[in-house]
Amino acid sequence: MHSYDEPVYLISVVAKALNIHPQTLRQYEREGLVTPSRTDGKMRLYSQKDIDQINMILRLTRNLGVNLAGVDIILQFKEKMDEFENEIEDLKLQLAKCKKEGTIPSGQTLVKRKNVYEIIIFGE
């Protein structure tokens, strides 16, 4: 079994599996919407992560009528949201550690807020 990020699928296999023309995949690459890996011979190899990204692009364009410029913006927002979610999880872990130890590490300030996200820890 291959890992989620491991590039193993040729463009012809991906195109056939997704029922799209290989030129569509090349266009998505030109637009910067997907970045397949390359072999030494410059052949494109797609990972399962790439295929899932392409499926999202297809859903946005086919089902919702979003153009490729809109898809690019949506994907950028999704990436930023994923980063924020990871950061929130890290902050929750830091807060749990601070609560468990009963102290705040030196050089950091704890600010509590009664909003959606309850804490912010600033490093110096």
> In terms of domains, do 54 and 85 share one?
no
Indicate whether 85 and 57 sit together in one domain. Answer: no
Whole domain around residue 122: which residue ranges? Answer: 79-124
Residue 2 has pLDDT above 60, yes or no: yes
How do residues 22-77 score in pLDDT, each as one tens digit?
999 999 999 999 999 999 999 999 999 999 999 999 999 999 999 999 999 999 99
Tell me the pTM.
0.72
Same-domain check for residues 1 and 61 = yes
Is residue 60 situated within a structural domain?
A: yes
Question: Per-residue confidence at 119, pLDDT binned at 50, 70, 90?
Answer: low
The residues near 118 (Cβ < 8 Å, ≥ 6 apart) are 95, 112
**What gap in Å lies between CA 58 and CA 66, rounded to an integer?**
9
Residues 26 and 49 in one domain: yes
User: Rounded to an integer, what distance in angstroms lies between the CA atom of residue 28 and that of residue 21?
Assistant: 11
User: Per the structure, how many domains does the chain have?
Assistant: 2
To which H or E segment does residue 122 belong? Answer: strand 119-123
